[in-house]
Amino acid sequence: MTVSASILLVDDDRHLAESMAAWLREMSHRVETVATLAEAKQSLIAGQYDLVMTDLRLGNDDGFDLIGHIKKKHPETAVLVITGYATPDTAVEAVRAGAYDLLTKPLIDDELSLSIERAISQREITRQNEELRKQLDRRSGLENILSHDYRMMKIFDVVDSIANARASVLITGENGTGKSMIARAIHARSTRRNGPFVEVACGALPDTLLESELFGHVAGAYTGANTNRAGKFQLADGGTLFLDEIATATPAMQVKLLRVLQEFQFEQLGGTETHSVDTRVILATNENLSNAVDTGRFRQDLYYRINVVNIVLPSLRERIGDLPLLVDHFLREASETCGREAESFDKDAIKAMQAYAWPGNIRQLENVVERAVLLGRGPVLTVDDLPPELTGRASDQQESSIAGASRAVSLGDIDGKTLRDALEGPERQIILQSLRAHNWNRAATADTLDINRTTLYKKMKRLGLDDPRLQYA
């Protein structure tokens, strides 16, 4: 054994304990000996040990009680059982209780040395796995969602409040606002974080396949179903199931979802056996489900069932003050991934990005930054490195020569949008440019735009222009 370990030796045979301790010390281990369960518990409180070696018979005490105590109170400590009264059933019981291994007396030196080495190695592997799990939790948790916006701060508080609740959560917001990340953050901060997180894009599958995907199927349920297959609800048992694009579910599928969300019971496609699961369900959509209920496209009872907690994610244009923070994050990621030395965007490029409506939200911003890093011609990226839709320039990158003209307004993607939604982008750019032209004097801006100040204030709030950090961008 090349690495010494701190060992607590628990045995009521003092002579044997001291003899074994002397041999272990010769092997460079640090050893303390105790004879009773009470002394062992006290030693564990006073110091930290890599390994506890214990007999199962400790006078009037039971070694299994010590194993259970260590597993509960000191899970980072490995346990090795040494006994003279072992049976195959005893060994199985000891391992189930939390021991790493069981050795029988009289001990063989090489066997004991090898068992100690393996127990310590397993303890180190467990510690490393736990550290990796914590790192993954941090990456998928709120720590990886960058924002200083007050709307997002409120959402973070909600996530912490409801993380351990079993109630369904409905996350709504435009495409690209980070609904999946919020779902993962809820899972990572809950007591289910050691369980699976399973994601299903409901809109990507036809109704029959979606039913099989969610609930599983038995052999012969349909052509090509040759074996039984577990569904996502079963695979997420003990963890979290994230159903994205839930508004695309057909009326028939909505009925089946309503039942499983009420009772957490279902039958597989083609089967008769009822399955029960302990699955936390988070749902997301970019549609207005309330309107879908009014038009009859979405069941009212299912809407009330899933809308227990509703988290509404703001669009990027509503939290535009976060844009420099997000740009810096994506810039560092893209530079590392692409192997390019891009340090920053200049002030004009940041202003151009803040004036844009971002119909694709954060996902679009990430793509724009990556494109700029790939095509950029220097460490400091400029307006010339941004795509034409952000700058209002023609695709050949030629600038308009009209003196004093402002950057052209970009309508962005207006397919499927109401007139009000389609006009938000141009309206935001016009107001932002006027505010900057008047050094953020709202009275002067309202006069120039020929609207009253109350109307201007309401529009600024709705369009995310009320963030004071915009004045210094």
Strands (E), 176-267: 197-201, 216-217, 229-230, 240-244, 265-267
CA distances from 424 to 366, 419, 443, 455 (A): 21, 9, 21, 15
Question: Angle, to 10 degrees, between the axis of helix 419-437 and the axis of helix 453-462?
Answer: 110
Output the pLDDT for position 137: 52
Residue 299 pLDDT greater than 60, yes or no: yes
* Amino acid at site 323: L
Amino acid at 276: S
Nearest Cα residue to 61 out of 12, 129, 13, 97: 12
| End-to-end Cα distance, the chain | 60
405: confidence class by pLDDT, cuts 50, 70, 90:
very low
Q: Is the pLDDT of residue 413 over 60?
A: no
pLDDT at 401: 33
Please determine, for residue 280, whether its predicted confidence score (pLDDT) is greater than 50: yes
Which pLDDT score is estimated for 139?
47
- Please report the beta strands in 286-372, taking only residues with DSSP state E, as ranges in sequence order: 309-312, 344-345
The predicted-structure confidence for 8-33, as pLDDT tens digits, reads as follows: 999 888 888 888 889 888 888 889 99
Q: Which residues contact 350 (CB under 8 A, 6 or more apart)?
A: 323, 324, 327, 473
Residue 283 has pLDDT above 90, yes or no: yes
Q: Taking 50 as the threshold, does the pLDDT of residue 367 lie above it?
A: yes
CB 18 within 8 A of CB 44: no
Nearby residues of 374 by Cβ (< 8 Å), 6 or more positions away: 334, 338, 340
Structural domains in the chain, CATH included, are: 6-136 (3.40.50.2300), 143-312 (3.40.50.300), 316-397+405-472 (1.10.8.60)
Q: What is the pLDDT of residue 172?
A: 95
- What would the pLDDT profile of 183-237 be if each residue is shown by its tens digit? 999 998 899 988 999 999 988 888 778 888 999 888 887 777 788 888 999 999 9
Q: Is the pLDDT of residue 143 over 70?
A: no
Whether residue 132 has pLDDT greater than 80 = no
Averaged pLDDT for residues 388-408: 49
DSSP 214: H
Question: C-alpha distances in angstroms, 300 versus 244, 254, 269, 292?
Answer: 19, 10, 25, 9
Closest CA to 258 of 224, 304, 197: 304
The structure tokens 């402002």 sit at 406
Identify whether the C-beta of residue 87 lies closer than 8 Å to the C-beta of residue 107: no
What backbone phi and psi angles, to 5 degrees, belong to 267? -115, 145
Bridge-based pairing state of the strands 240-244 and 197-201: parallel
Q: β-strand 309-312 against 265-267: which pairing, if any?
A: unpaired
The CA distance from 331 to 342, in Å, is: 7
Q: Which residue has the higher pLDDT, 111 or 178?
A: 178
Greatest mean pLDDT range, 60-64, 139-143, 238-242: 238-242
Give the CA angle between residues 366, 368, 371 to the nearest 5°: 110
Residue 148 pLDDT > 70: yes
Q: What is the helix, strand, coil percentage profile of the chain, to 5? A: 50, 15, 35
| Residue 178 to residue 176: CA distance in whole angstroms | 6
Q: Is the dihedral of CA 342, 327, 398, 396 positive or negative?
A: positive
Confidence of residue 403 (pLDDT cuts 50, 70, 90): very low
Please tell me the predicted confidence (pLDDT) of residue 353.
92
Strand bridging mode 216-217 / 229-230:
antiparallel
More confident: 472 or 214: 214
pLDDT for 393 beyond 60:
no
Q: What is the pLDDT of residues 50-104, one digit of tens each?
A: 889 988 888 788 888 888 888 888 888 888 888 877 677 777 888 888 888 888 8
Q: According to the model, what pLDDT value does residue 414 have? A: 57
Distance CA 43, CA 383 (A): 66
pLDDT value at residue 404:
37
Residue 112: the pLDDT is 83
362, 176 in Cβ contact below 8 A? Answer: yes
Mean pLDDT, the chain, as a whole number? 83
Residues 334, 340, 343, 345, CA torsion sign = negative
DSSP category for residue 405: P
**pLDDT band (50, 70, 90) for residue 241:** very high
